[in-house]
Structure formats: structure tokens, C-alpha cells
């Protein structure tokens, strides 16, 4: 029975990762209709907002036996701002300059960013295997991007920089929020953090947004709705359930399908093609993250 549940957890994890990976492809498709990053991010948050309001309401009395302080809620606001708002904004901005497949390759290095941040802020030592994983991951990015610059020009560096910022801010969220999740519970914490992110996006758009939200092509609204439901809300539940069933270490290995699924989806829907050199770079990134995940799994045994 346990083995059956484990493989069900793997299946749910793979499905969640594939749905998350579809986000970049749908964003790129929406950009064909001359819509900017903050508008697409606003639509994503507008359509997902009601779901997270319901989740926050349903789970409001969960984990009430655990004492939470006012400062805990301040930290929820902070990590909602950093982990979901900034990470999402940098990601959407980066996608205006680079391929969806390259975006996923860069985002996939966040576990190595977690290691670096733990070293920087908590003085946790970096092992030889972790150092190798970090080296391979970033070497893979450099290789993939050096070949893309020859094809698409120097704006690729700007896009890559934005997506790398997204990976770093998301990693900082993972590093800092680990001690908060047991206090609130996964769903409650996620809902609260996402609601903070939604309000940040609403404020951001109200300050700099120039788009007339009521006169967009219907395709843009459709992509916003699809991204909210199928690339945000549903996969967040699938991933949370998968982690509960197979552990976070095993899930990190399953997440290796992320770059591969994005490359396939981007090839099918966007006509994107990676060169052999870029495939080699992607391979190095995946190997680096798998090394990191396997070492973490062994530590927990």
C-alpha cells in the first residue's frame, strides 16, 4: 500500500511540474498579442485571487493550537512579497526577452541557490558534492546562454538576468519560510502568501500600468485564466500533496522533468528549438540539481 501511495505521489508530482512548466509557454503565447509583463501577471493574480481567498477562509482555524505571533504574520507578508510577487514579476519580465525553454533551465537552479543562501546567512558548510552541483548548474547556464546570444542578440542577457533574479528570490523564500510553514500549515501559509502577492501586483499595476484592462484581446483573458487555474492553483495543490506523499527530497528529483517538459511544450506550441550546445547546457543543469537532490535524500535517511 505504501509503495502504491509513493508512486501515486510521484505521478501527482510529475503532473504538477508539467502544469507549472506550461506557464512560460502560455505567457509567451500571450505576448504575441502585444501585452506587457505586469498586465499578464495582473490577470494571473486576478483570476487566482478568489481561489486563495476561499482556501484562506476554509483553513483559517487550522493549526490554531500552535502559537503564532504578530511577527510571524509580518514574515508571511515579507515572504509573500519576495517569494511570489518579486519572483513572479522577474520571471514574467524575463520571458519578454528569452525562450520559454531557457527560462525553465535557469529557474531550475533554485536548489543550488538555496545552498548558497544557507551558506551566506546561516553559515551552513557547502560539501564537495554540493560545490560540484553548483558548478555544473551554472556552467550549464553559461553554455546555454553563450550559444543563444549568437542567435538572438545581447537582450538575452537581460532576460536571463531577470529570470536568475526570480530563481534567487524564490530560493530566499524557500530558505526563510521553512520555519513558518509548520506554524500555519502548507495550504494556509501558501494562501496567505499568495494573497499578499496578489495585493502587491494590484498596487504595482495601479502605479505603472498603462493597459486598458477592458479592451484586451479575448485570447489574453483566456491565457490569464488558464495560467491562473492550470499553471498556478491546481499545480500548487498537486505539488503540496506530492511532497506529503513522497517527501521533499524525492520530489526535488521528480522536479527534474520540469526543464524537459518545458522544452517539449515550447517546441510543440512555440516552435522553439534548442541547439545541441544548449541541450548540453540543459543536461549539465539537470545533472547538477539531481546530484544536490540525491545528497539531500541520503542525509535524511
185 located within any domain: yes
**How many domains is the chain partitioned into structurally?**
1
Full domain range(s) for residue 179: 9-300
98 located within any domain: yes
100 located within any domain: yes
117 located within any domain: yes
Task: Give 211-216's long-range contacts (Cβ < 8 A, gap of 24+).
Answer: 211/35, 211/36, 211/39, 213/39, 213/42, 216/33, 216/35, 216/39
1 located within any domain: no
43 located within any domain: yes
4 located within any domain: no
Supply the pLDDT for residue 298.
55
Supply the pLDDT for residue 115.
82
2 located within any domain: no
Residues of the chain with pLDDT under 70: 1-3, 63-65, 149-154, 247-249, 252, 293-301
The CA-to-CA distance between both ends of the chain, in Å, stands at: 21
Supply the pLDDT for residue 85.
94
pTM score, whole prediction: 0.87
Amino acid at each position: 500500500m505504501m509503495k502504491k501511495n509513493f508512486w501515486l505521489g510521484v505521478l501527482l508530482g510529475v503532473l504538477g511540474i508539467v502544469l507549472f512548466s506550461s506557464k512560460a509557454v502560455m505567457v509567451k503565447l500571450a505576448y504575441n498579442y502585444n501585452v506587457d509583463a505586469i498586465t499578464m501577471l495582473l490577470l494571473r493574480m486576478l483570476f487566482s485571487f478568489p481561489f486563495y481567498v476561499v482556501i484562506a477562509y476554509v483553513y483559517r482555524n487550522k493549526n490554531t493550537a500552535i502559537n503564532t505571533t504578530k511577527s510571524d504574520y509580518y514574515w508571511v507578508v515579507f515572504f509573500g512579497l519576495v517569494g511570489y510577487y518579486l519572483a513572479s514579476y522577474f520571471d514574467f519580465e524575463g520571458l519578454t526577452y528569452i525562450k520559454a525553454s531557457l527560462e525553465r533551465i535557469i529557474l531550475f537552479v533554485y536548489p543550488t541557490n538555496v545552498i548558497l543562501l544557507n551558506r551566506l546567512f546561516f553559515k551552513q558548510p557547502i560539501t564537495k558534492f554540493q560545490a560540484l552541483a553548483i558548478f555544473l548548474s551554472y556552467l550549464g547556464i553559461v553554455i546555454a546562454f553563450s550559444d543563444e546570444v549568437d542567435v538572438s542578440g545581447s537582450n538575452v542577457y537581460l532576460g536571463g538576468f531577470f529570470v536568475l533574479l526570480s530563481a534567487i528570490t524564490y530560493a530566499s523564500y524557500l530558505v526563510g519560510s521553512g520555519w513558518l510553514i509548520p506554524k500555519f500549515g502548507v495550504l494556509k501559509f501558501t494562501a496567505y502568501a499568495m494573497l499578499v502577492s496578489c495585493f502587491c501586483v494590484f498596487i504595482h499595476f495601479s502605479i505603472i500600468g498603462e493597459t486598458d484592462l477592458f479592451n484586451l484581446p479575448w485570447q489574453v483573458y483566456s491565457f490569464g485564466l488558464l495560467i491562473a487555474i492550470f499553471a498556478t492553483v491546481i499545480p500548487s495543490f498537486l505539488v503540496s500533496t506530492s511532497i506529503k506523499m513522497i517527501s521533499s527530497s524525492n520530489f526535488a528529483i521528480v522536479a527534474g522533468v520540469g526543464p524537459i517538459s518545458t522544452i517539449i511544450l515550447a517546441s510543440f506550441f512555440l516552435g522553439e528549438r534548442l541547439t545541441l550546445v544548449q541541450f548540453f547546457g540543459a543536461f549539465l543543469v539537470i545533472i547538477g540539481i539531481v546530484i544536490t537532490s540525491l545528497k539531500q535524500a541520503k542525509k535524511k535517511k
